Structure 1
Amino acid sequence: MTDLSNRARRSLLHAAAALALGAAPLHALAADAYPSQPIRLIVPFSPGGAVDVYARIVAPALGKELGQNIVVDNRPGASGIIGTELVARSPADGYTLVLGNIATLGINPVIYKNNPFDPLKQLTPITKTVVVNYVLVVNPDKVPARTAADLVAYAKAHPGALSYGSSGTGSMQQMAAALFEARTQTKMLHVPYKGTGALLGDLVAGHVDMIFADQGTMMQQVKAGKLAVLGVGGLHRVPEYPDIPTIAEAAGLPGFEVVAWQGLAGPAGLPAAVVDTLNKAVNKVQADKDIRARLLEAGLVPDAGSPEDFRRYIGAELQKWGKVANDLGVKAD
């Protein structure tokens, strides 16, 4: 075959490829091939907290469903802002995602004056994943109260004496405690930490007195006899612990509710086909009997849905916690 015929053959092949690309846009071809490489899942908190627990349970199964490894990457700092901003500034190709939660997507934007991103403008909501039941626990060696009502009475008799920890200023843990203070007309000392892991160690050691935090993490310590639980934060008792009253009923605070949530998001502009692929994969994985059981055991109630549902939910949460922050004067630098 002559050089001329070789060149002609290559020209025909290039023309055919060009026609194929013309029939299928580049972004569609990329979406059809997604994912073609490992996906980095940013957890914007330290290991040990509820977001990290969810990632460790779901990531292996999600990777298997998608046919690619899911690499969990903890990037803690600034109440989750550092890790979440990293994703907001990443390419919108679906290979860098974030596990957001009520703090990073619903609270930080309304309490931080210079929060570097708008979750509805700089991120693409993919799906809400779980609701996180909260409990109120105390160090039994430091706090004499064994019911939420006893705790309120003690706090009123010793204003400022009780300290509560949180994973950072503006975290759900702080907001829950601030709401509790407002509803009970008590005053306590806020001690912020950089993550739940260090906080839990100090709580067990007695360096802080109490915390509102996720059920899964805290109940492990309660079962070990290191902490005492005074109530659950939802409006109803949880099936796993039917004998534990709600804080609302135990402290006489009708309507008091502190629960958290998590959700998966990517950078703004994520292709619709990629969002759809990820959404369906998460919903399928969370419907698995074994995965669901492990999540429930960790205090994480599966609650996945559509991207549109998650977007609306984030919007509603921003309004809700914006009002709470404004009413209680909760601000962060």
Structure 2
Amino acid sequence: MRIAHAVAVAGLCLGIGWGIGAQAGGYPDHPLKLVVPFPAGGATDLMARALARDLGGKLGQSVVVENRGGAGGAIGAETVANAAPDGYTLLYSTMGVLTINPSLYPKLRYDPQKSFAPISLTNLTSNLLVVNNDLPVKSVADLAELARRRPGELTFSSSGNGTTSHLAGEMFKSTAKVDIRHIPYKGTSGAINDFLAGRISMMFDTSSNFVELVKQGKIKALGVTSPQRLPVLPDVPSISESPGFSTYEVTLWSGVLAPAGTPRAVIDRLNQDIGAVMSAPSMVSLMADYGIRTTHSTPEAFAERIRLDTQKWAQVIQQSGAHAD
């Protein structure tokens, strides 16, 4: 009986193994959809389309990007959360959609930590702190001192209340203990246009929006919000290098997730191929030109990053009183 039981158990385990192997081995057999929860154009769309192009080659199936913007990325995220957990509908998400939205939108129709199966982080980038050339400062310390002498006079624009460009500014204000007025816009283009026109003192926004402008000398970059300097702008220090700002950090990230319940064999296949795509020299070089670093992680490490950053931004939002537009 013991021998018969052992044989039966072994057969069951082997059958399960075959099932998973077959599922992973036969996947994918038709095109995939990669949902970007923002309109076409901009850094997020750039990163997603580069990934989709090369991932399709690894999978042997096309990966079609679908832009579904609205509600700070919540609409696109909800679409994927409700999709079939079969590995054919994926979410290309930014940090804000998963870790900031829960504190801004109390009635989200998805749970960032329960509705998705994280696959891998793909990109790391930073905001740049940039100022107009006519602002009489040359460093983060100069800016903080000027703000102390002129409370409420300096301004910073953002792409909207509760965005990373807004919250990076709020973190700067609380760290430096200064009063700088926040001017929210409905989107990045309006915020940048008014900044470049001289109507706004400074901005904290994605590095890819400013690299060329800084190189051309049209604006001044005082600091990088991530702990690491950007290879594309090696002379611009991290804000955390400045006296009194050692704890300041805003590292932006993006990654790929599937609906919760997606088989682990499919998650592992996607994780492996995404890792190969993001480590390819051509991808590393392409992203570096925009001040973006490629990366790769385990699903578990990605899930932990979401959990910790959700706690961090909840505190920042509570302290700043930020709210959704």
- The number of residues matched between the two structures is 311
The 5 A counterparts of 1:77-156 are 77-141=70-134, 143-156=135-148
From 301, 307, 311, the counterpart of 2:303 = 311
Aligned partners of 1:162 and 1:189 also within 8 Å:
yes
Indicate how the Cα distance of structure 1 residues 27 and 236 shifts in structure 2: closer, same or farther if over 3 A, else same: closer
Match of 2:26 in 1: 33
Q: Distance in 2 between matches of 1:23 and 1:131?
A: 37
Indicate how the Cα distance of structure 1 residues 274 and 187 shifts in structure 2: closer, same or farther if over 3 A, else same: same
Aligned partners of 2:232 and 2:290 also within 8 Å:
no
Aligned partners of 1:39 and 1:95 also within 8 Å:
yes
Indicate how the Cα distance of structure 1 residues 204 and 74 shifts in structure 2: closer, same or farther if over 3 A, else same: farther
Gaps of 5+ in 2: 1-14
Give the % identical residues.
Answer: 39
From 35, 44, 54, the counterpart of 1:51 = 44
Aligned partners of 1:132 and 1:260 also within 8 Å:
yes
Instruction: Give 3-state SS (helix, strand or coil) of 2:58's partner.
Output: helix
Q: Distance in 2 between matches of 1:188 and 1:115?
A: 31
Residue type at the aligned position of 1:324: V
Moved over 4 A (4+): 22-31
| Aligned alpha-carbon RMSD (Å) | 2.5
Gaps of 5+ in 1: 1-21
Match of 1:210 in 2: 202
Match of 1:10 in 2: none
Indicate how the Cα distance of structure 1 residues 236 and 310 shifts in structure 2: closer, same or farther if over 3 A, else same: closer
Q: Return the index of the structure with the highest Cα Rg.
A: 1
Indicate how the Cα distance of structure 1 residues 235 and 25 shifts in structure 2: closer, same or farther if over 3 A, else same: closer
Q: CA deviation at 1:179?
A: 0.6
Q: CA deviation at 1:96?
A: 1.9
Q: Distance in 2 between matches of 1:247 and 1:51?
A: 23
Matched, 1:325 2:317: yes
Indicate how the Cα distance of structure 1 residues 72 and 205 shifts in structure 2: closer, same or farther if over 3 A, else same: farther
Q: CA deviation at 1:234?
A: 2.3
Q: CA offsets, 1:146-204, max 9 Å, x none?
A: 32223223323333333322233222111111111111122223233343344333332
Please, what TM-score do these two structures have when normalized by structure 1?
A: 0.84
Q: Distance in 1 between matches of 2:29 and 2:210?
A: 39
Q: Distance in 1 between matches of 2:26 and 2:99?
A: 33
Residue type at the aligned position of 1:79: G
Please, what TM-score do these two structures have when normalized by structure 2?
A: 0.86
Q: CA deviation at 1:69?
A: 1.6
Range 31-40 or range 295-304, more displaced: 31-40
